[in-house]
Structure 1
Amino acid sequence: MKNPSTRVVATIAALVAVLAFYFVLLGQRGVSLIQDGRAVPVGLGLAVLVLPLLGVWMVVATIRSGLAHQHLARRIHYEGLELDVSDLPRRPSGRIDRDAADALFAQVKQEWEEDPDNWRNSYRLARAYDYAGDRGRARETMRRAVALEKLEREG
């Protein structure tokens, strides 16, 4: 497996398989508790059955989100609009220097303010938030970019 994306997909597939196995075990435990028939084990069994359902929902939501983000990344790459961070100074850890990331963020935010309803600007802003270390706003802005791109595709 020389391609890094193949390695990532294989890792994700392995983690999903492990989670599926875990969810099956939890489900079996929940069913056996419910079959006990007494009030407390039945209550615990129902509660245990909720865990695999939540887990499946979380895995599906995370994979769908990742696929949507990858779709936008491919479009941005194809259109030549990726943020070029190759010449920015980096810390020993490899992360972009904070001042450089903040300067990049200021530039990209200005572009976004000029056309906030363009998914490309929202995508670039989400990436700039991420480089600046604000993961919460990066996720929020990326969700907006996904929604705007979907509107553009469907409209």
Structure 2
Amino acid sequence: MTSEVTKKVALIAALVIALAFYFVLLGQRGIQLISDGRPAAIGLGIGVLILPLLGVWIVTATVRAGLQHQHLARRIHDEGRELDVSALPRRASGRIERAAADEVFAQVKAEWEADPDNWRSSYRLARAYDYAGDRGRARDTMRRAVRLERLERGE
């Protein structure tokens, strides 16, 4: 398991480094365009400079969210409250079959409805949404779990 995690972290680090290199190149190109002095080149240069800034924001937000989710996953694991989906039937792609995922979702949603202000319930619901294929709600619910867990820690 540690080898798997190390490989994933190395891949993420390599991608972030590649993006940083790309952002530097874009920034240099934007400055060159602005230095040209012509109005069209200046406009393009400003537009090109916005891209690396936007990219840095996206990469930072994504990595931060990933670290926050890993923190919650570690706490849930340590408390023994992970969703056990190991015995559920799977498709050839490896995803959990829809009917089984919906069953898990119904059970976890009932838990959440009983205690919606507990980050653990929200975390488990986010995972259930993900297993059921509803990525949008999974992200929203995971953000809620992160906020609730921070409140619990007093941040």
Which range, TM-score by smaller chain? over 0.9
Instruction: Detail structure 1 runs of 4+ shifted over 6 Å in the superposition.
Output: none
State the Cα distance separating 1:93 from its structure 2 match: 1.3
Q: CA RMSD in A?
A: 1.2
Identity %: 74
1:7-86 maps to which residues of 2 (within 5 A)?
7-86=7-86
Unaligned stretches of 5+ residues in structure 2: none
State the Cα distance separating 1:91 from its structure 2 match: 1.0
Letter in 1 for 2:134: D
Partner Cα distance (2:91, 2:56) in 1: 38
1:18-44 C-alpha deviation (Å, 9 max, x unpaired):
000100000000000000011110011
TM-score, length-scaled by structure 1: 0.98
Partner Cα distance (1:142, 1:115) in 2: 15
Q: How many residues align?
A: 155
State the Cα distance separating 1:55 from its structure 2 match: 0.2
Partner Cα distance (1:148, 1:90) in 2: 32
Partner Cα distance (1:72, 1:4) in 2: 19
Partner Cα distance (2:11, 2:142) in 1: 23
Unaligned stretches of 5+ residues in structure 1: none
Determine the structure 1 residue equivalent to 2:135: 135
TM-score, length-scaled by structure 2: 0.98
